[in-house]
Amino acid sequence: MIRLLALLMVLAMPAKAEEIVLGLSRDEVAITATFEGSEILIFGAIKRDDSTPIEGDLGVIVTVAGPDHPVVVRKKDRRFGIWVNTESVEVDVAPTFYAVATNRPLQEILTFTEDLNTRISTQRAIRSVGSTVEGAERFTQALIRIRAGQGLYQTLPEGVWVEEEALFRTLIPLPANLTEGDYKAEIYLTRDKQIVDFYATTIPVKKVGLERWLYNLAHEHAFWYGLMSLSIAIAAGWGASAVFTLFRR
């Protein structure tokens, strides 16, 4: 909501001198049985109103965010000689996937205040409200570290190529362990660290085919799904036994 308000304020500014025109390599990502990860090519052009003079450093920021889910971050401590979970922090909003690609390091093309308002950087995209544990910051940092290790959180400081200050493109790699949902792609254009234009679109990430069918069956007809799993198990057990008996003869 805050993000939206900030954007409205940005967009309400009179006479936009520059505008984003966008293209996507695909408008949805299908998760099939052999899904090994994928990538989205996001490209576009910067449309310019020639009457206004353009000044300042150009910045292009592309973010792709997966659906938000709450996460519990637990910390281990040594108690009586063994390592056990002691403290925990519940992070209310954490995207399951988050990538920030920029043409230059983020702090060079975006002010701190703009980042606070728009929640572009990974630290800002995560929110934990009302955590009472001291040093909750460390828990969110741990969350980012762990997810970055799984390829789910990515910071690509030179991930956007800009040509002639008019064309830009970026390739966002998607890991294999993606969560289903609507992925939000947002593109920000900055001049002298101030946002001048913004464009947003959604890329649905969906399971298809067998994956979709099994997922739906497991959730909507859990009893039959359970019975199916058991019958497969029994059949496989019997089958293997029969085959081996055949070989022995």
Partner 1 sequence: MQIYLPIAEVSVNAFLLLGLGGIVGILSGMFGVGGGFLMTPLLFFIGIPPAVAVATEANQIVASSFSGVLAHLKRKTVDLRMGTVLLIGGLIGSGLGIILFNYLKSLGQVELLVQLCYVVFLGMIGTLMFLESLKAIRQASKSGGVSIPKRRKHNWVHNLPFKMKFRVSGLYISVIPPLLVGVLVGVLAAIMGVGGGFIMVPAMIYLLGMPTKVVVGTSLFQIIFVTAFTTMLHATTNFTVDVVLAVLLLIGGVVGAQIGTRIGVRMKAEQLRIWLAIMVLAVCGKLAFDLLVTPSEFYSLGTGGHS
Residue among 22, 179, 194, 199 that touches partner 1 (CB under 8 A): 179
Interface with partner 1 includes 177 (CB under 8 A)? Answer: yes
Shortest Å distance, C-beta 192 to partner 1: 38
Interface with partner 1 includes 204 (CB under 8 A)? Answer: no
Interface with partner 1 includes 246 (CB under 8 A)? Answer: no
87 vs 115, beta carbon nearer partner 1 = 87
Residue pair 79/88 in contact by the 8 Å Cβ criterion: no
Q: CB under 8 A: which stretch of 73-81, 97-105, 113-121, 188-196 binds partner 1?
A: 73-81
Residue pair 73/139 in contact by the 8 Å Cβ criterion: yes
Residue among 52, 201, 202, 229 that touches partner 1 (CB under 8 A): 229
- Amino acid making up residue 38: S
Residue among 10, 59, 102, 139 that touches partner 1 (CB under 8 A): 139
56 vs 70, beta carbon nearer partner 1 = 70
Interface with partner 1 includes 183 (CB under 8 A)? Answer: no
Residue among 4, 5, 57, 70 that touches partner 1 (CB under 8 A): 70
Side-chain half-sphere CA neighbours of 188 within 13 A: 30
Q: Which residues contact 227 (CB under 8 A, 6 or more apart)?
A: none
Q: CB under 8 A: which stretch of 13-21, 51-59, 142-150, 190-198 binds partner 1?
A: 142-150
Interface with partner 1 includes 38 (CB under 8 A)? Answer: no
Shortest Å distance, C-beta 25 to partner 1: 21
Q: What secondary structure does DSSP assign to 15-67, as a single string?
A: S-SEEEEEEES-S-EEE-TT---EEEEEEEEEEE-TTS---S-EEEEEEEE--
CA-CA distance, 164 to 180, in Å (whole number)? 37
At how many degrees (to 10) do helices 222-248 and 209-220 cross? 120
